[in-house]
Amino acid sequence: MPDQKIDNLLNLALDATEEERQKSGNLNTGYDPAGKTWDVIVKYTGREEELSGEGIQAVPLLGNYAVVTFPEREIDSYSDRENVIFMEKPKQLYFEVFQGKTASCIQAVQTGAEGLTGEGILMGIVDSGVDYFHPDFRNEDGSSRILYLWDQGIPGKPPAGYGAGTEYTKEEIDEALALGENQGRRLVPSVDISGHGTAVLGIAAGNGRASGGVNRGVAYESDLLVVKMGIPKENSFPRTTELIQGIDYLMRKALELNRPLVINLSFGNNYGSHEPYN
């Protein structure tokens, strides 16, 4: 019967041959074939000093946990110790964004027969702005993928029909990019202070240039329309009045350009209580 103090994966790994472990990958996580040692997470009671021993190294952690390294031959005898409650094999960690893209079938859509990349589509965002210098929002030649950027919080030249902010065109953004950050941000001073808009736009449409194509967004070949919502009061969030104007602006731009539009909204409000009245 398998040792009940040892988790199932570790028991399985111990019963497998080295060839089977190597084929699995997961079973080999935590094992050092050169030294024939294991790194194991241990839940224990008693004193920290009792965790170590000859050929055994322990790093005690808070909550009576420890990371223990010992030869494979010592695992059974170590689990027999009274102060050992449970031993768990380590597991490989991954970037969760890859798991999310797989679960959402994004990779299959991008690499399948259709090869959907967002080409020809407008990706609009109403959020905290964007770091327009970020490589993921620039083309291979360094020019911007952003066609228009409306910063509702910078007084100046609002888009036609609106009463606040300043609208920047792709030509102005490209000129700012060519000047470099120090001079360029004087020409187009829109800044994403929180980084929220930059992050969500990267998920929606980043082309992955900053990571060599590894961390691409969903519609990575789309053209971009960005609205940075204005904040009417210091130390506050935008309101739905700023949001609805931003959505209206994006829709009017799409009609003007005669292009299909997708809008990403990552700001929200639950509009109060939803509990039924009694």
132 and 236 in a single domain? The answer is yes
Rounded CA separation 168/146 (Å): 10
Taking the CA atoms of residue 113, residue 117, residue 123 and residue 126 in that order, the dihedral angle to the nearest 10 degrees is: 100
Which of 277, 156, 136 minimizes the C-alpha distance to 219? 136
278 pLDDT more than 70:
no
236 and 258 in a single domain? The answer is yes
Domain end position, chosen among 55, 88, 121: 88
104 and 70 in a single domain? The answer is no
The CA R_g of the chain, rounded to the nearest whole Å, is 27
- 3 located within any domain: no
pLDDT digits (tens, 9 = 90+) for 178-202: 999 999 999 999 999 999 999 999 9
Dump the DSSP string for 213-252: TTT--SSTT-EEEEEE---SSTT----HHHHHHHHHHHHH
- 61 located within any domain: yes
Q: Mean pLDDT in the chain?
A: 91
Longest dimension (CA), the chain: 78
74 and 103 in a single domain? The answer is no
pTM: predicted TM-score of the whole model, two decimal places:
0.75
Domain end position, chosen among 35, 61, 88: 88
75 pLDDT more than 50:
yes
Domain that holds residue 235: 96-265
pLDDT band at 277 (very low <50, low <70, confident <90, very high): low
Backbone angles phi, psi at 11, to 5 degrees: -60, -45
Q: Which long-range contacts (CB under 8 A, 24 or more apart) does 53-60 make?
A: none
Q: Which residue has the tokens 């953004």?
A: 173
100 and 81 in a single domain? The answer is no
